[in-house]
Structure 1
Amino acid sequence: MPRGPTHGPPATGEQQPEADPGTVGVGVKQVIGLPSGEIERRFQLRGMEGTQLTTVGFPTGVEGGAFLYTNRETLSLGMILNMRSLVEHGIQFSEALEDFKQHPWVQRFLDGGTLLEYSGCFVTEGGLRRLPPLFGPGYLLAGAAAGLFLNTGFTLRGMDFALESGRIAGGVAAEAVRAKDPSASFLARYAERLEQSFVLRHLRTYPDYPRTFANPRLYGLYPEILTSLLHRAYFVDGSDREHLRQMLKGSHRGKASLLTLGRDLWKAMRTL
């Protein structure tokens, strides 16, 4: 079930722990139709080229981000926002998505497009240490339903994990049907094969990545500091110019200490 998790696994007689809202993302995606030539013109593409744009913390300061990527004759646009952070900020998801779409930088890519599809799901963002049981009597979990998702800050891995885990699960399910054996002991081979695949190997490389992205400074303070630094570097108004060292000091002064910056950087380097 690569499109989950809209509900939990079938009952197995064991009480499943409740999901932590801090490790669950609410995801919404819209598919917007545009002629292929118009997509190529707007994104400066040729032939089979494609592109993806991502943002962090905009427009709400909520943990999470937004994306916009090209297909042949459509654009996929959406957001994944942390459930707990949404509640703490008192923000409606629909309003956040519309604010993102109305930003001039985004709107110019969408003008004249036709909304073709709208979908939503929950995304488990707990990483390797929060994976649910991947199999049990009569069921297998794959894709997002199994929490097979990886965010390294440079890449968002979900589709390829869903395809590969779904392929493996389908093969094991077919074997179970032929053997007329849906027991947990038979279906355990799914977990064994998943361990040998790139899916769990890559998740094991970054077992603690959620710790880095649970830092609220990533979604408000640090974008603010970076924006201030770029403004100081590029804005020309006739005033005296600053050295880069002075720009850096002025951008974070009163907002975050060097110790805090160093700790966050060290944590990111260790987990990513």
Structure 2
Amino acid sequence: MTLELRDLAFGYGARMVGQGVTLTLARGEVLALLGPNGAGKTTLFKTMLGLLPVQAGEIVLDGVPLTSFSRADRAKRIGHVPQAHAALFPFTVRDVVLMGRAAHLSPFAAPGAKDRAIADAALVRLGMTHLADRPYTEISGGERQMVLIARALAQQPGILVMDEPTASLDYGNQMRVLSHIRRLAREGMSIVLSTHNPDHVFMVADRVALLHEGTLAGLGPPQTVLTPQRIKQLYDVDVVMGVLPGGNAPVCSPRLDAGED
């Protein structure tokens, strides 16, 4: 499944947050969105999901304008993985994943055997069957993030939109989530994710889009686009980059002594 943004302008009501954004997401591609807080990443994601109306331009899904799809049809095609959060009610992990089937059910219908089988398959796919009967409120932040990915997979979408999927996770869980993202892409899932970590972009992304003050400041392969100069432009931080011995991707390190005498 492919997604295209064509000269897109987005925002809230009369307040424009970003404009002139043109990019494509190919089948099986991981596209990372990198930019500082306030650059418009979340607003752009909400617009891509159809939660906010397009202010100008258009969004095209497999050659069809996104506005042509009903909310339920959009949810069948585009899954959303928010940042992990603490739930208020102690639903089981299986029940949380089963909620991903809502778009496939008619109003007031209860999930059937097929829906439960798809939810269980999503848990198997992510190696989480051992947590199926645990309360969602009692598992770790990293485990919650994996449950949210499983819930999105239960929608059976062709595209995943992931909002900072490694935020607030410890190092081990960050690596596990990134590994699953790369594996899902190899299986044909199209993924767009936001992050503040250039190293994560180098690890999993086929391309990176740099969002700065609501416009694209760069788009292309990470090794080409993510330069110290562009990171300085985005975050006002001086960095050095290089490939460590035995490594297979660049790493980015801030110069902590920048600005000191």
The TM-score, its normalising length taken from structure 2, stands at 0.28
The structure that is strand-richer by fraction is: 2
The TM-score, its normalising length taken from structure 1, stands at 0.27
Query: Rg: which structure is higher?
Result: 1
Higher normalized contact order (CA 8 Å, seq sep 6+, divided by chain length): 2
